[in-house]
Amino acid sequence: IANTNSKPVNEAYIKEKNVEHFIDTHDYRLAKDINKLITTFYLNDLEEQPMAYFLLFIDLDDIDFTGINRVRNRLILAAVLAILLLTSSFYYLYVKRYKLFVDTLNTKLEHEVAAKTLELEEKNKHLIHIAHHDSLTGLPNRLLFLDRLDNAIKYAKRHNNNVAVLFLDLDRFKEVNDTYGHEVGDKLLKNITQRLKACVRDYDTIARLGGDEFTIIIQGAENEQLISIVEKIFKNMKASHFINGNTIHSSFSIGISSFPEDGDNTDILLRNADTAMYKAKDKGRNTYKFYNEGMTAQVLKRVKLETELREAIEHNDFHAYYQPKLDAVTGKVIGMEALIRWIHHSHGMIPPDEFIPLAEEIGLIGRIDEWMMKHTLETAHKWHEEGIFNGRLSLNVSMKHIENKSFVDRIKEILTENNFKPELLELEITESQIMKKPQSTIKILNKIKSLGIAISIDDFGTGYSSLSYLKRLPIDRLKIDKSFIQDIPNDEDDTAIVKTIIVLAKSLKLDIIAEGVESLEQKDFLVASGCHHIQGYYYAKPLSEKGFRDFLIKFS
Ligand code: C2E
Ligand code: CA
Ligand code: CA
């Protein structure tokens, strides 16, 4: 179809570019080379069938693009807005969900933190409690005790008041532990704690310093009130404890110091109460003592003695003295007792009564007794060889030394080293020491006895022997204590006691000897009563090695 008013340029373009061809595929074509937009227009017949089409060449310059651009821009804006809206709503939803998630996490975390804090607080409380209390009894320990005492002193200073410290030490607790075991010992401490609590007011502090040591702080009490508290404690301790099938007795030695008289700080008050407690122990158990200044002087003296005793052992400042034992009927020397002497470089001779108990207490007795054993066995052996002495050597030994596991082996060694016949050796052990633990002592004494060594009970009559034990102890001899000899034959009681002891020894088939015999009268009474063996100043005082040798030569 040709349009009558078509331009020849356009027709040429149609022919040249084969426009019909693209008309089939595209609705329009931008013909930039001729600056035209080419579009089609279909013409239909009456049956709506294509009948013809027109190609329209529109000048690009004639088209108004601003409208199109505006529409496009609006569309782009709308699209951008839509995208923004979508992303922001997605973001909003996401944040909202995320916040919820974070919130739940946060609350969970808060709960966990709270629980952990509580747990830590509990643990902390527990640790503080442990640091301030004794785990066995639950009582305040030394740390808390000192703190409370310090506070009590400060309070008393402000209010012009007083504070007392009671220092309590259980008597013979070590024996309970050794005999029945630590479990029983622990239970005893718990029982005692309960009994102590019943003796004081709620606000008084009872503390356990360790071992068998307890302290009590009493605020604002006069001495009379303190005494009544102490007496209450003694009364409450009286009843026996029944622990694991054992009946156990307990008692305390108590020392008391007070602010302001005996010290104005915790250290001094505690130390002085401790000192007073030791004095109470010395006086006999189950007693109390108020502190006084003289006690400190004694303690210092003791500390000095202890240092000097250790030095004396190092420097070998000991000497053995010997006292003869005679058969009063035959007049023969039957033996000798070795007695230790400490010759101090400036104090001169220190008697054994002044240092043996201390040596026992501080664990030096073994070394001292062993020194005596070696030295006197050597000397006695020399005299045996010389033929001036054929009697027995008696040695004083402390139970503390005998209990030592190596004792029996050591004594065997010393006997062998000195080629000493065991039957010429006798050990003197005091009745009171044997009766402290008769059962375990029997076992040890049997071992000693099996070596062939004789055993004598020293200071007999002062140690409350039970007859049943006396029968079972592997002993050879009773030595009547000198306190009963002193006043015989004038004192009726002593006379009766001495006679009874002699009869007892005879009926138990034991030898008997009397010590501390100073007069002819005493000797004659003893001989008449059946005790022929005599030791004492009547015959001789304890003599130095040389003195005793001279004595032997004169007598043989
Ligand atoms: P003891 O075994 O009872 O010794 C007897 C004490 O009585 C000795 O005192 C002795 O000197 C003294 N004496 C002897 N005859 C008479 C007398 O006729 N009249 C008076 N009034 N006293 C007399 P000493 O030597 O002072 O010894 C005291 C205690 O020390 C001894 O008592 C003994 O238990 C202990 N002892 C001495 N030497 C040793 C030792 O080497 N080891 C141990 N563990 N203890 C010893
Ligand atoms: Ca003796
Ligand atoms: Ca004696």
Ligand 1 atom closest to the Cα of residue 401 is 44
Q: Which ranges of the chain have pLDDT less than 50? A: 1
Q: What is the DSSP letter of 543?
A: B
| pLDDT value, residue 192 | 96
Question: Which residues partner with 205 through β-bridges?
Answer: 217
Nearest CA to ligand 1 atom 35: 352
Q: Give me 143's structure tokens.
A: 């740390």
Q: What is the DSSP letter of 472?
A: H
Is residue 456 in contact with ligand 1, taking CB distance under 6 Å?
A: no
Instruction: Give the span between the Cα atoms of 32 and 28, in whole angstroms.
Output: 12
Is residue 352 in contact with ligand 1, taking CB distance under 6 Å?
A: yes
For tokens 């040389």, name the residue: 546
| pLDDT value, residue 39 | 84
Segments in 438-539 forming alpha helices (H): 438-450, 467-472, 482-485, 492-507, 520-529
Ligand 3 centre and the CA of 396: distance in Å?
A: 9
492 CB-near residues (< 8 Å, 6+ apart): none
Q: Phi-psi category of 509—alpha, beta or left, where left has phi over 0 and alpha has psi -120 to 50? A: left
Ligand 1 atom closest to the Cα of residue 537 is 18
| pLDDT value, residue 2 | 57
82 CB-near residues (< 8 Å, 6+ apart): none
Is residue 45 in contact with ligand 1, taking CB distance under 6 Å?
A: no
Ligand that lies nearest to the alpha carbon of residue 460, given by its number in the listed order: 3
Instruction: Give the span between the Cα atoms of 303 and 293, in whole angstroms.
Output: 16
For tokens 């505690």, name the residue: 270
Cβ–Cβ < 8 Å for 312, 371: no
| pLDDT value, residue 362 | 84
Instruction: Give the span between the Cα atoms of 51 and 415, in whole angstroms.
Output: 154
Long-range contacts of 280-285 (CB under 8 A, 24+ apart): 280/253, 280/254, 280/255, 281/169, 281/171, 281/253, 285/171, 285/172, 285/251, 285/253
H-run or E-run covering 315: helix 293-315
Instruction: Give the span between the Cα atoms of 521 and 511, in whole angstroms.
Output: 22
Is residue 463 in contact with ligand 1, taking CB distance under 6 Å?
A: no
The model carries a pTM of 0.63
Q: How far is CA 217 from CA 67, 205, 255, 266, 376, in A?
A: 106, 5, 12, 11, 53
Is residue 353 in contact with ligand 1, taking CB distance under 6 Å?
A: yes
Surface-to-core class of residue 359, CB atoms within 10 Å of its CB (0-12 exposed, 13-18 middle, 19+ buried): buried
Nearest CA to ligand 1 atom 34: 396
Q: What is the DSSP letter of 240?
A: P
Cβ–Cβ < 8 Å for 448, 408: yes
Ligand 1 centre and the CA of 497: distance in Å?
A: 21
Instruction: Give the span between the Cα atoms of 395 and 426, in whole angstroms.
Output: 6
Surface-to-core class of residue 327, CB atoms within 10 Å of its CB (0-12 exposed, 13-18 middle, 19+ buried): middle
| pLDDT value, residue 405 | 87
Cβ–Cβ < 8 Å for 455, 475: yes
- Of 360, 515, 544, the residue with max ligand 1 atoms within 8 A of its CB, to mutate for a pocket test, comes to 515
Is residue 458 in contact with ligand 1, taking CB distance under 6 Å?
A: yes
CA angle 164, 251, 234 (to 5 degrees): 55
Q: How far is CA 379 from the centre of its chain?
A: 47
Instruction: Give the span between the Cα atoms of 170 and 253, in whole angstroms.
Output: 6
Closest by CA to 479, choosing from 454, 504, 498, 459, is 459
Secondary structure, 3-state, 149-198? HHHHHHHHHHHCCCEEEEEEEECCHHHHHHHHCHHHHHHHHHHHHHHHHC
Is residue 325 in contact with ligand 1, taking CB distance under 6 Å?
A: no
Is residue 426 in contact with ligand 1, taking CB distance under 6 Å?
A: no
85 CB-near residues (< 8 Å, 6+ apart): none
Question: Which residues partner with 425 through β-bridges?
Answer: 393
Question: Half-sphere exposure (CA, 13 Å, Cβ side) for 46?
Answer: 0
| pLDDT value, residue 542 | 97
